[in-house]
Amino acid sequence: MTSVLVAMSGGVDSSVAAALMKDEGHDVIGVTLKLWEGSGGAAPTAGCCTVSDSEDARRVAAQLDIPYYVLDHTDVFMGGVVDRFIGDYLSGLTPNPCIECNRTVKFTELMVRAREFGCDAVVTGHYAQVRRERGAWRLFRSVDEAKDQSYVLSMLGQDQLANLRFPVGPLTKPQVRDLARGLGLRTAGKPDSQDICFVGNRDYRDFLADHSRQTVRQGTIVDQDGAVVGTHAGVTNFTIGQRKGLGIAVGEPRFVTRIDPHTATVTIGRRADLEVGEVGLRDVSWVADPVESGASVTVQYRAHGALVPAVVHVDPDNVVMVFDEPQLAIAPGQTAAIYAGREVLGGGIISSSG
């Protein structure tokens, strides 16, 4: 029997994760990370860290008869996730704040807190699996392909995986809800959150306008030949592959193909202009063993995207993924997770495409 720290978001997955750990005989401590607050320090009414979410987590912990704490990490979340989210969009990138939160906040701060509480492991409700194989800790996709979250965990390494548990990874979402109903947990029928937690149900552009410390520059929209076809109110209003909301009419569909934040220029083109044959990666990390150059792998470059075949090329300065077939609308700033079958090999942030 061990002591475990369970991150409880107030949702059904983390509730069942705590229940499964308790059922296995572990000493369980439940915690909710307070990551975001409204103006004047008020609790937000949408997104993460709402009063209702914390109350759901507290009442589930009470039902399971485990201690429960709310831990304030708003400062590190603001600096490591929100400020970077804003800065990336102002730089013409398309960030994934959930991955950055896992990298800089959740699995860093939770490990620190676990040691303070005298716990042996951290438990979350993520849909993924960790196993000790071939002399190392390995990360795998979950049983439920539709709910798999291994993509947002692709930055995890050996030190973290050795002390992590994902109890719902071997289960499907319907099984998790059935377990919650069987236990009478109040979160059994609670809908999954689909929004960026700190943005909530707002448009991210409105969030950027309210929270950016930097003035958004107006600029021009040009076609593939560089001819000016319109103007815009700021590059934060655009992402690669965007079709709607361009504010221009040219008679046939056009898509955003390039964003240059330095000149505030947005380039548009036809669908074929979105095709990408390869991407370069930065901030690459490997789960266990570095991948050999020339290896055939599969890559996921969107949170809910499909796995696509590619060949990885590694040298001391670069990691480049060459796709077997061209892909559409890949944006710098997105994360590319690298797989071999169901195993996560690692990942990095897309820095270039060609």
> Among residues 48, 49, 101, 119, which one is catalytic?
101
Q: At what angle do helices 173-183 and 12-23 cross, to 10 degrees?
A: 70
Residue 206 CA to its chain's centroid (Å)? 21
49 annotated active-site: no
Burial class of residue 344 in the structure, from the number of CB atoms within 10 Å of its CB (0-12 exposed, 13-18 middle, 19+ buried): buried
Encoded tokens for 157: 């390494």
Choose, from 49, 98, 119, 197, the residue flagged as catalytic: 197
| The three-state (H, E, C) secondary structure of the chain, written as one string | CCEEEEECCCCHHHHHHHHHHHHCCCEEEEEEEECCCCHHHCCCCCCCCCHHHHHHHHHHHHHHCCCEEEEECHHHHHHHHHHHHHHHHHCCCCCCHHHHHHHHHHHHHHHHHHHHCCCCEEECCCCEEEEEECCEEEEEECCCHHHCCHHHHCCCCHHHHCCEECCCCCCCHHHHHHHHHHHCCCCCCCCCCCCCCCCCCCCHHHHHHHHCCCCCCCEEEECCCCCEEEEECCHHHCCCCCCCCCCCCCCCCCEEEEEECCCCEEEEECHHHHEEEEEEEEEEEECCCCCCCCEEEEEECCCCCCCEEEEEEECCCCEEEEEEEEEECCCCCCEEEEEECCEEEEEEEEEEEC
Question: Is 48 among the catalytic positions?
Answer: no
User: Which residues are known to be catalytic?
Assistant: 101, 197
